[in-house]
């Protein structure tokens, strides 16, 4: 079974990807992790990706697709795969669809983690990190014991550069614009499930699990 998870940064899709991996034994393909590993290994693709990331540019679709396909082919015999954060635009979605057709596979479910911008920005703007030890806090939901001081090492907390209001807003708008056609594409194929991400993690997980269980049952009775 192939599952795709889409949603803007901060929508909680990473958490759900991990839950699917652990509970159902899916092989997870996360674009972010994949690039980080390729860069560490310093292989051909890694070197190319590094050049883009170093200059703050988006990695081109062709390179993303090349990596995804390579990872898909070498997935260590696993039948069930989740894609975390891919495809992120319509180009990638179409190309990947053709690729899957060519290997006689198709996507079973696409979860879209939907969250209103006002809530997302509140979540991200309340995030604080410790510049010394890397501990992460949220002033709303997981605050430090004493105001603005790290519980673990006593340093003064800071905002992450890319959690600032303007950057958050811009990132969200770019994301929405790029993924709107992707949602439409999968909705036409009747695999899209919209998840309201403005709920607690357990509730979201129960819903996600229910959809996956149902798909497995359908496949069994085929
Ligand atoms: Zn600290």
Is 88 considered catalytic here? Answer: yes
- CA 155 – ligand 1 centroid, Å: 5
Per domain, the residue ranges of the chain are: 2-26+78-221
The mean pLDDT values, 10 residues at a time, for the chain of 222 residues are 91 90 93 84 85 78 91 82 93 96 94 90 86 89 92 93 79 89 96 92 95 93 76
User: Looking at residue 76, what is its pLDDT?
Assistant: 67
The pLDDT score that the predictor gives to residue 104 is: 92
Alpha-carbon distance of 91 to 164, in angstroms, equals 29
Q: Which of 28, 88, 123, 128 is catalytic?
A: 88
Q: What is the pLDDT of residue 56?
A: 67
d(CA 101, CA 99): 5
Measuring CA to CA, how many Å separate 208 from each of 12, 48, 65, 211? Answer: 12, 36, 26, 5
| Residue 149 burial (10 A CB sphere; 0-12, 13-18, 19+) | middle
Choose the catalytic residue: 48, 128, 171, 183. 171
Closest C-alpha among 173, 172, 176, 128 to residue 152: 128
CA of 129 from ligand 1 middle (Å) equals 8
Q: Judge whether 208 and 22 are in contact, CB under 8 Å.
A: no
Superfamily of domain 2-26+78-221: P-loop containing nucleotide triphosphate hydrolases (3.40.50.300)
* Cβ atoms of 168 and 177 closer than 8 Å: no
Q: Tell which residue, 76, 62, 89, 85, has the closest CA to residue 184.
A: 89
Model-wide pTM > 0.85? no
pLDDT for the residue 110: 97
* Cα 150 to averaged position of ligand 1 atoms, centre (Å): 5
Ordered alpha helix ranges (H), 87-153: 90-102, 117-125
């Amino acid at each position: 079974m192939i599952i795709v998870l889409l949603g803007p940064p901060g929508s909680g899709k990473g958490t759900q990807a991990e839950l699917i991996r652990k509970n159902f034994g899916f092989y997870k393909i996360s674009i972010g992790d994949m690039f980080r590993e390729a860069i560490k290994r310093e292989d051909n693709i890694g070197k190319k990706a590094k050049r883009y990331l170093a200059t703050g540019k988006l990695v081109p679709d062709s390179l993303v697709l090349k990596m995804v396909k390579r990872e898909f082919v070498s997935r260590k015999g696993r039948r069930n795969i989740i894609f975390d954060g891919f495809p992120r635009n319509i180009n990638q979605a179409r190309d990947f669809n053709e690729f899957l057709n060519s290997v006689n596979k198709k996507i079973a479910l696409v979860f879209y983690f939907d969250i209103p911008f006002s809530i997302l920005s509140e979540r991200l703007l309340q995030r604080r990190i410790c510049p010394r030890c890397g501990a992460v806090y949220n002033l709303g939901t997981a605050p430090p014991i004493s105001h603005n001081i790290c519980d673990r090492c006593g340093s003064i907390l800071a905002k992450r550069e890319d959690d600032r209001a303007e950057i958050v807003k811009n990132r969200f708008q770019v994301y929405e614009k790029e993924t709107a056609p992707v949602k439409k594409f999968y909705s036409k194929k009747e695999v899209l499930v919209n998840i309201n991400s403005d709920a607690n993690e357990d509730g979201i997980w129960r819903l996600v699990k229910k959809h996956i269980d149902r798909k497995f049952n359908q496949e069994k009775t085929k």
